[in-house]
């Protein structure tokens, strides 16, 4: 295989290098593929499926699927947008996401995707699960009500912080983020400056005492939808 | 209720219209339509005090304001004041306090305008028993288009002030523990200065309507749902009216001070609440007087009665005129709430004018820091009266206890008294008509109650009147869409 090649996304030919994922190549070309569990600098994980695209007609997660010469990728289609909306809506009803008082509002990737995809109200019944908030740590708290199990904190703590503070426990609907201690976040090695804290796309892992310090109007997604930074790279 | 009231008929006004939230009135009548009992019921249960438990303390000002869509700023600021205490801040940077005050005066301006122009003016302009098809905000817009537009524009001005200080017109995030998250830019200031004179002029006009209406109808209004009562309000240390901060004062119907110069942090030593089995709303009272005699009124009437003066010139002149009506003694006329409310409307816009010219609003020192205390009390004068917020916070920064006494709760007993009084004076022994039933709502509306302090369905709610016989069987039911 040639080191440099091209493939097609939504009718546009874009360049790619060998070993690049479809998502990475699209990013560099200024084409936004919605995603949640993927984050620059972290190993691709393929958990949330929001980045699902059709590769030669077959669904694949763009964050894990390597780009290949000549493939035909469909991304911005009605069918895929509808599927992504359903995924996001399921995440909303599976946890307890109350944007109206969540301090991550305006900076939250889940909320921003909801807006970008045009979700007005969830179609699925709310599950209102019983989830726990761990505020024992002096600098950081974990609110599992808002966790979407993307695993970004798990990977960031393990691969970037070298600490393994966060891990998944349980299976299926009972799956949760747990901490590497008997029970409390306070008993881990976590520091507020750790990459694992900054990795959370939602309001689940937050620095204490920050709250609403950034006024409405100056938050990340107040004026531009999520993905605008990538799209601004388009030539 | 009618189970123990053999031989009585029961009428329900459900829901009460042109008020904030949901409530109902029940009337028990005997065979001759004599009123045996009249009550205002609060039919919703909220639970904010319970579900704020466990949440991080800094969320409270943003979370708890969701109690209300009309004056959320009051809850936002009362909670923020309590959280200032929790984070050990006793004095805010001037920019922070003045931004919060601007937010609060903006809210007063919009809330009072909404109430006067849209909820109350149909009763005053068309009469209490006018045709209900005309006696509504649409009727006002048709016959008095200028007034209707003024109401909308004044409300907008206040809402824009809230947006500029809190980030959003409804449910913003401006006040944070120890301060504020933004200042007022020069562009924002100039935006408000542009329309300021117009707002002052319209406020004068609205006050004149309320004042003239009261004077012209004084004979009828003086007794309408009126009774002697105590009055409670925050008052600035020097005795001036201050809706953002002050010390607790209660006076009796003659103006004698029952509580004075009290640090509101100690409110529990002075105020208690009684629970009655037929309402979700508690009945607060002054402890030293007990539940029978200790109930009191809050809101515009109580504030004007309780303060020694107003620190803005036009509103102070108007206050003097208001107090002259009762020879300097407290005014106990329920319908005088409207006049008092419009004096506050003028006071608010005078304060807004003062603040807009204050360069502190462009300051950059926004937040003060202190040492955590674990408990905080925040009181504020909301448009509808004194609002109490009290929280305890554990060492992990989580709220463990919340106690809220909302403005309308303070007016629970007075509103029930007003309902009883009007029912006895106007309905007893008469054939019950829609117009007569509206008299009861007129008395309730004087208090501008926020019945659930949350939902607001003003104007669009159907009025349902149900007539039951002694066996609680529905005899007649009329629905007004």
d(CA A216, nearest CA chain B) in Å: 5
Question: CA of B372 to nearest chain A CA: how many angstroms apart?
Answer: 12
Kindly report the nearest CA distance between residue B96 and chain A, in angstroms: 13
Are residues B348 and B475 both part of a single domain? no
**Model pLDDT, residue B3:** 40
List C-alpha distances in Å: B151 to A85, B128, B206: 41, 20, 9
* Nearest-CA distance B309 → chain A (Å): 36
Q: What is the CATH number of the domain that holds A102?
A: 3.30.70.20
Q: Are A198 and A169 in a shared domain?
A: yes
Q: Do the Cβ atoms of A101 and B63 come within 8 Å?
A: yes
Domain membership of residue A232 (yes or no) is no
Positive or negative CA dihedral for B470, B473, B478, B481?
A: positive
Q: Provide, as residue numbers in chain B, all residues whose Cβ is less than 8 Å from the Cβ of A144.
A: none
- Same-domain pairing of B316 and B256: yes
Contact A133 B181 (CB under 8 A): no
Which DSSP helix (H) or strand (E) runs through B24? strand B23-29
Residue A227 in domain: no
Residue A234 lies in a domain: no
Considering only CB atoms, which chain A residues are within 8 Å of B172? 216
At a CB cut-off of 8 Å and minimum separation 6, what does A45 contact?
A37, A38, A63, A64, A150, A151, A155
Residue A6 belongs to some domain of the structure: no
Q: Cβ distance B170 to B348 under 8 Å? A: no
Of the residues B381, B410, B439, the one at which a domain ends: B410
Closest in A136, A209, A216 to B58, CB measured:
A209
Task: Flag whether B475 is in a domain.
Answer: yes
The alpha carbon of residue A104 is apart from the nearest alpha carbon of chain B, in Å, by 11
Coil vs helix vs strand at B310: coil
**Cα dihedral: A76, A82, A87, A90 (round 10):** 150
Q: How confident is the model at residue A75 (pLDDT cuts 50, 70, 90)?
A: very high
Is A208 buried (19+), middle (13-18) or exposed (0-12) by CB count in 10 A? middle
Averaged pLDDT for residues A164-174:
94
Which residues touch A98 (CB under 8 Å, ≥6 apart)? none
Long-range interactions of B211-215: CB distance < 8 A, separation 24+: B211/B318, B211/B321, B211/B339, B211/B342, B213/B124, B213/B338, B213/B339, B214/B333, B214/B335, B214/B336, B214/B338, B214/B339
The predicted pLDDT at position B6 comes to 60
Yes or no: say if B338 and B446 are a contact pair by the CB < 8 Å rule: yes
Contact B121, B140 (CB under 8 A): yes
Same domain, A61 and A164: no
- B33 in the same domain as B75: no
Q: Between the CA of residue A25 and those of A43, A222, A225, B297, what are the distances in Å?
A: 15, 27, 21, 68
**Residue A194: pLDDT over 80:** yes
Are residue A107 and residue A188 in the same domain, yes or no?
A: yes
The Cα of B333 is separated from the nearest Cα of chain A by a number of Å equal to: 40
Identify whether residues A165 and A109 lie together within a single domain: yes
B233/B342 same-domain check: yes
From CA B174, how far away is CA B79, in angstroms rounded? 12
Chain A residue with CA closest to B172: the answer is A216
Test B56 with A135 for CB contact under 8 angstroms: yes
Q: Is residue A104 part of a domain?
A: yes
Q: Are residues A191 and A164 in the same domain?
A: yes
Flag if A212 and B177 touch (Cβ within 8 Å): no
Residue B392 lies inside a defined structural domain of this protein: yes
Domain with B369, as residue range(s), is 48-186+218-410
> Do B234 and B262 share a structural domain?
yes
- The verdict on B394 and B466 lying in the same domain is no
Beta bridge partners of B20: B450
Task: Classify residue A179: in a domain, yes or no.
Answer: yes
C-beta separation of B143 from B135 below 8 A: no
Same domain, A179 and A71: no
CA A115 to chain B, closest CA, distance in angstroms equals 18
- From chain A, pick out residues whose CB is under 8 angstroms from the CB of B181: 212-215
Task: Tell me whether the omega of the peptide bond preceding residue A182 falls within 30 degrees of 0, making it cis.
Answer: no
Instruction: Confirm whether B363 is domain-assigned.
Output: yes
Percent with pLDDT over 90 in chain A: 93
Phi-psi region of B47 (alpha: psi -120 to 50; beta: other; left: phi over 0): left
Residues of B with CB under 8 A from a CB of A: 54-56, 58-59, 62-63, 66, 166-168, 171-174, 176-177, 181-182, 367, 396-398
Give domain status of residue B232, yes or no. Answer: yes
Contact A212 B173 (CB under 8 A): yes
Q: How far is A10 from chain B (nearest CA, A)?
A: 38
- Chain A partners within 8 Å of B396 (Cβ): 135-136
Same domain, B52 and B38: no
Look at residue B274 in the predicted model and tell me its pLDDT.
87
* A92 lies in the same domain as A201: yes
**Phi-psi category of residue A162: left, alpha or beta, with phi > 0 → left and psi -120 to 50 → alpha:** left
Residues A42 and A72 placed together within one structural domain of the fold: yes
Task: For B150, list phi and psi in degrees, rounded to 5.
Answer: -55, -45
Listing DSSP states for B87-135 in one string gives: TT-SS--HHHHHHHHHHHHHHHHHHHHIIIIIIIHHHHHH-TTS-TTTS
Same domain, B235 and B313: yes
Cβ neighbours of A135 in B, within 8 Å: 56, 396-398
Nearest in space to B83 (alpha carbons), one of B100, B61, B68, B111 = B61
- Chain A residues within 8 angstroms (CB to CB) of chain B: 100-101, 103, 133, 135-136, 141, 208-209, 211-217
Is residue B150 located within the same domain as residue B244?
Answer: yes
Whether B163 and B300 share a structural domain = yes
According to the 3-state scheme, what is the secondary structure of B373-438? CCEEEEEEEECCEEEEEEEEECCCCEEEEEEEECHHHHCHHHHHHHHHHHHHHHHCCCCCCHHHHH
Give dist(CA B101, CA B246) in Å, integer. 13
| Beta carbons of B62 and A212 less than 8 Å apart | yes
Query: Domain of B373: which CATH number?
Result: 1.10.645.10
- What is the pLDDT at residue B453? 45
Same domain, A104 and A45: no
- The CATH number of whichever domain residue A24 belongs to comes to 3.10.20.740
Interface test with A, best of B55, B173, B393 (most A CBs within 10 A): B173
B373 and B472 housed in the same domain: no
Secondary structure tally for chain A: helices H, strands E: 6, 10
- Number of domains, chain B: 2
DSSP class of B264: G
Chain A residue with minimum CA distance to B169: A216
The whole domain housing A52 covers 13-76
**Same-domain status, A28 and A72:** yes
User: Are A152 and A177 in the same domain?
Assistant: yes
The region of weakest confidence among A58-62, A173-177, B310-314 is A173-177
Residue A219 has pLDDT above 80, yes or no: yes
B322 in any annotated domain: yes
For residue B230, is it within any domain? yes
Among B56, B167, B177, beta carbon nearest to A217: B167
Same domain, A105 and A176: yes
Q: Is residue A1 a part of any domain in this protein? A: no
* Closest CB to B397 among A103, A208, A216: A208
Query: CB–CB of B397 and A209 under 8 A?
Result: yes
**DSSP state, residue B59:** G
* Spans of chain B, pLDDT less than 50: 1-5, 452-465, 480-481
d(CA A131, CA A149): 13
CA–CA distance, A99 with A186 (Å, rounded to integer): 27
Q: Do B120 and B31 share a domain, yes or no?
A: no
The answer as to whether A28 is a domain residue is yes
If you count them, how many residues does chain A have?
235
Which H or E run includes B247?
strand B247-251
Half-sphere exposure of A28 (CA within 13 A, CB side): 12
Is 0.90 exceeded by the ipTM? Answer: yes
Please answer whether residues B309 and B421 qualify as being in contact, where contact means their C-beta atoms are separated by less than 8 angstroms: no
Closest residue in B to A145 (Cα) is B55
Q: If you search the block for the tokens 């110069």, which residue do you land on?
A: B261
User: How many domains are there within chain A?
Assistant: 2
Q: Is residue B296 part of a domain?
A: yes
């Amino acid at each position: 295989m040639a080191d440099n090649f091209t493939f097609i996304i939504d009718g546009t030919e874009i360049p790619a290098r060998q070993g690049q994922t479809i998502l990475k190549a699209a990013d560099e070309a200024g084409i936004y593929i919605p995603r949640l569990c993927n984050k620059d600098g972290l190993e691709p994980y393929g958990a949330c499926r929001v980045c699902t695209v059709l590769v030669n007609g077959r669904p694949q997660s763009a964050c894990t699927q390597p780009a290949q010469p000549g493939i035909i990728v469909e991304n911005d289609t009605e069918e895929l947008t509808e599927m992504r909306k359903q995924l996001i809506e399921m995440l909303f009803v599976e946890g307890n996401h109350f944007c109206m008082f969540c301090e991550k509002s305006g900076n939250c990737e889940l909320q921003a995707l909801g807006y970008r995809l045009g979700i007005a109200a969830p179609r699925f019944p709310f599950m209102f699960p019983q989830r726990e908030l761990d505020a024992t740590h002096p600098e950081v708290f974990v609110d599992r009500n808002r966790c979407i199990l993307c695993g970004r904190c798990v990977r960031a703590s393990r691969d970037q912080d070298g600490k393994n503070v966060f891990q998944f426990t349980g299976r299926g609907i009972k799956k949760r983020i747990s901490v590497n201690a008997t029970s409390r976040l306070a008993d881990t090695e976590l520091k507020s400056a750790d990459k694992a804290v900054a990795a959370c796309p939602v309001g689940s892992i937050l620095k204490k005492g920050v709250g609403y310090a950034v006024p409405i109007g100056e938050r990340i997604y107040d004026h531009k939808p999520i993905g605008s930074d990538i799209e601004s790279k388009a030539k | 209720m009618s189970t123990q009231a053999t031989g009585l008929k029961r009428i329900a006004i459900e829901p009460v219209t042109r008020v904030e939230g949901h409530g109902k009135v029940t009337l028990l009548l005997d065979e001759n339509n004599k009123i045996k009992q009249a009550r205002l019921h609060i039919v919703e249960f909220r639970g904010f005090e319970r579900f704020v438990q466990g949440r991080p303390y800094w969320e409270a000002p943003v979370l708890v304001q969701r109690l209300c869509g009309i004056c959320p700023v009051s809850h936002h600021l009362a909670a923020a004041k309590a959280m200032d205490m929790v984070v050990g801040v006793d004095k805010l940077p001037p920019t922070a306090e003045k931004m919060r005050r601007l937010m609060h005066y903006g809210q007063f301006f919009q809330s009072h305008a909404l109430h006067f122009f849209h909820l109350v003016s149909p009763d005053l302009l068309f009469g209490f028993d006018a045709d209900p098809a005309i006696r509504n905000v649409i009727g006002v817009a048709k016959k008095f288009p200028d007034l209707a537009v003024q109401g909308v524009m004044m409300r907008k001005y206040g809402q824009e002030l809230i947006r500029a200080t809190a980030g959003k017109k409804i449910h913003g995030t401006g006040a944070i523990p120890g301060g504020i998250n933004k200042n007022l830019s020069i562009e924002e200031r100039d935006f408000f200065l542009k329309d300021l004179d117009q707002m002052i002029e319209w406020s004068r006009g609205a006050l004149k309507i309320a004042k003239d209406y009261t004077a012209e109808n004084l004979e009828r209004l003086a007794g309408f749902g009126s009774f002697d009562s105590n009055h409670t309000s925050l008052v600035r240390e020097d005795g001036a009216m201050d809706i953002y901060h002050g010390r607790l004062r209660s006076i009796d119907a003659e103006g004698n001070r029952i509580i004075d110069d009290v640090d509101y942090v100690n409110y529990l030593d002075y105020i208690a609440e009684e629970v009655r089995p037929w309402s979700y709303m508690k009945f607060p009272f002054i402890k030293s007087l007990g539940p029978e005699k200790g109930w009191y009124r809050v809101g515009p009437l109580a504030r004007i009665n309780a303060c020694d003066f107003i620190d803005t010139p036009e509103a102070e002149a108007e206050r003097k005129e208001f107090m002259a009506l009762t020879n300097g003694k407290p005014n106990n006329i329920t319908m005088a709430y409207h006049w008092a409310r419009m004096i506050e409307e003028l006071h608010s816009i005078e304060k807004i004018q003062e603040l807009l010219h204050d360069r502190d609003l462009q300051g950059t020192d926004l937040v003060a820091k202190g040492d955590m205390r674990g408990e905080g009390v925040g009181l504020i004068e909301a448009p509808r009266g004194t609002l109490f917020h009290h929280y305890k916070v554990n060492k992990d920064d989580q709220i463990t206890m919340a106690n809220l006494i909302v403005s309308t709760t303070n007016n629970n007993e007075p509103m029930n008294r007003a309902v009883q009084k009007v029912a006895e004076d106007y309905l007893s022994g008469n054939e019950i008509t829609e117009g007569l039933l509206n008299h009861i709502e007129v008395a309730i509306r004087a208090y501008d109650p926020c019945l659930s302090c949350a939902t607001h369905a003003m104007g669009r709610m159907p009025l349902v009147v149900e007539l039951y016989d002694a066996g609680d069987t529905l005899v007649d039911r009329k629905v007004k869409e």
